[in-house]
Amino acid sequence: MPATRYRTQKLGDVDVFYREAGPANAPVILLLHGFPTSSHMFRDLMPELADSYRVIAPDLAGFGLTKAPPRGTFDYTFDALADVIGGFVDAMGLRRYAIYIFDYGAPIGLRLAMKHPERVTAIITQNGNAYVEGFSKEWGPWQTYWREPTQAHREATRAALTDDALRFQHEHGSPVGAVSPDAYLLDTYFMHRPEAQEIQLDLILSYRTNVALYPDFQAYLRKHRPPVLAVWGRHDAFFLPPGAEAYKRDVPDAEVHLLDTGHFALDTHHREIAALMRDFLRRRIAAA
């Protein structure tokens, strides 16, 4: 089994922690995690792909083991997070790559794709939303905060940051007893760090900028028609299956697979997702 390497890449005031596996000369897959997790979510997927691909998974600023400046000296917005990952891609010398986008990783990855469409060989979206159809009713408090960013509405969104809420994200929709506790326990640990919750509340408000960009993301997809594989947990409480199906509207040959699991599909279905990715990438782009 190919070994995973754990490294950091310094980008100004940000030290980006990342995991990497696979041959240096193999086709690249850039793996972008979401809320509230880190590159740890790819721990099982990476070895499944690393014999044929160079798989690279960075921690976003404010997440995991990436070290970023405190609030007030760093702009915790999605534009800023995308700028850091764009700098990381450049520093790593990545000129062509498939991109795996999950949750928060979707608007970050799609920002990168719009800026450099010539670099993106394919998009794998795993519960990575770009359409309003994908939102469930669980987004209600967040949407209220976006419309009226008062302190009271900010506090109402804090419910998404509790220990129970983090565990719910991992376990809901998955077979009982199938989810290892290490994932949500690690997310809980990181959420209890100084400033972590306030950073996440800042990003919850900034999420409205992603929704505002949905028409631009969709225009990019229509114009450039990257190969798209949508692999979603059909029981996701937050991003509904219509969000996966909607990709076909802009990329008619997009391939959609709904798995019998929840939001964190990799917690239970990493082998199935790896197999779907291998088949898709073999057919749609040149693989090693």
Q: Could you give the residue numbers annotated as active site? A: 263
**Beta-strand relationship, 255-259 and 120-125:** unpaired
Measured distance CA(157)–CA(139) in Å, rounded: 9
The answer to whether the beta carbons of residues 60 and 83 sit under 8 Å apart is no
Contacting residues for 239 by C-beta, under 8 A, at least 6 apart? 103, 127, 128, 129, 134, 135, 136, 232, 263
Residue 246: CA atoms inside 13 Å, Cβ hemisphere, count? 19
Q: Going by DSSP bridges, is the β-strand pair 228-233/255-259 parallel, antiparallel, or unpaired?
A: parallel
Task: Dihedral sign for Cα 34, 171, 4, 38, please.
Answer: positive
Q: Alpha helix locations (H) across the chain?
A: 45-49, 78-91, 105-115, 140-147, 151-157, 163-171, 182-191, 196-224, 241-245, 247-250, 266-284
- Measured distance CA(80)–CA(60) in Å, rounded: 10
